[in-house]
Amino acid sequence: MKLFLLPRVKKILFSVILLSVLLNLFFLYRYALPKLLKLIPQQYDTVFFGDAIIEGGDWASWLNSKIKKSGHPYMTTSTFVGSLNDQVIAYHPKTCYLEGGVNDALAGITLERTCSNYRSMIDTLLKHNITPVIQSTLYVNLPKDSLINRHIDSLNLYLASISKERNLRFIDVNSKLSTNKRLRSEYTNDGMHLTKEGYDRWVALIK
């Protein structure tokens, strides 16, 4: 009797194991694998990295290119430095368009610190064979904004200077979107963020 049951037991056990393996493979394919793939960064030719101004733009559509948008509200350049690996380098782009600095001015971060952060980002990107494209920081159009805009003036002078020093492209967006040292009212609804018309001017400069 025992000799008769043993092959049957083995056969049942084999079937159970096979079914378990198949179910696990199905689960991996159906549920786990898509989630794991989402954790692996895709590769992009270009990353736009900055604050809410970058977040507000539909860069991939406007420039008809495979672009990763890494824009985050309220971020200062110190935060940029800390997140550069995850937000830019992980995507292995050839080019990174940098924008930011107004939140530094609003938060009272010194000009020296902001310039140091930009220098650090530029050096890190170049070390990873990523070409930075520097874009000027926009003025604001707010009550009592003269101190902030003077800070932005000084920052933009530095950005133009380091771009020339490192032989990098510098796009002076600010000069085209401002007048009398303020962001033009027709390009903003709240004094800081851009309207579609403002972005249109910006995109034209990139092209």
Identify whether residues 85 and 36 lie together within a single domain: no
Identify whether residues 113 and 28 lie together within a single domain: no
Residue 40 has pLDDT above 80, yes or no: no
Identify whether residues 149 and 186 lie together within a single domain: yes
Identify whether residues 27 and 92 lie together within a single domain: no
Question: Is 43 strand, coil or helix?
Answer: coil
Kindly report which listed range (26-35, 131-140, 180-189) carries the lowest average pLDDT score.
Answer: 26-35
Whether residue 76 contacts residue 116, with contact meaning beta carbons closer than 8 Å, is answered with: no
Identify whether residues 80 and 18 lie together within a single domain: no
Which pLDDT band, with edges at 50, 70 and 90, does 198 fall under? very high
Identify whether residues 50 and 3 lie together within a single domain: no
Identify whether residues 11 and 104 lie together within a single domain: no
Identify whether residues 107 and 35 lie together within a single domain: no
Identify whether residues 30 and 78 lie together within a single domain: no
Closest CA to 101 of 115, 81, 86: 115
> What pTM value is reported for the model?
0.81
Residues with Cβ within 8 Å of 22's Cβ and at least 6 positions away in sequence, in order, are none
Determine the average pLDDT of the residues in 176-197: 96
State residue 12 phi and psi, 5-degree precision. Answer: -65, -45
pLDDT in tens, 76-110: 999 999 999 999 999 999 999 999 999 999 999 99
Residue 134 has pLDDT above 70, yes or no: yes
Identify whether residues 75 and 156 lie together within a single domain: yes
pLDDT at 42: 82
Q: How far, CA to CA in Å, does 64 sit from each of 59, 60, 131, 160, 184?
A: 8, 5, 20, 27, 27
Residue 2 has pLDDT above 70, yes or no: no
Q: Which domain does 15 fall in, by range?
A: 1-40
pLDDT at 128: 98
pLDDT in tens, 142-182: 998 899 999 999 999 999 999 999 999 999 999 999 999 99
Domain count for the chain: 2
Cα–Cα distance, 113 to 98 (Å, whole number): 16
**To which residue do tokens 């902030």 refer?**
148
Identify whether residues 35 and 93 lie together within a single domain: no
- Exposed, middle or buried: residue 70 (CB in 10 Å: 0-12, 13-18, 19+)? buried
Cα–Cα distance, 58 to 200 (Å, whole number): 11
> Regarding predicted confidence, which is higher, 7 or 186?
186
Cα–Cα distance, 202 to 207 (Å, whole number): 9
Identify whether residues 166 and 83 lie together within a single domain: yes
Cα–Cα distance, 28 to 131 (Å, whole number): 38
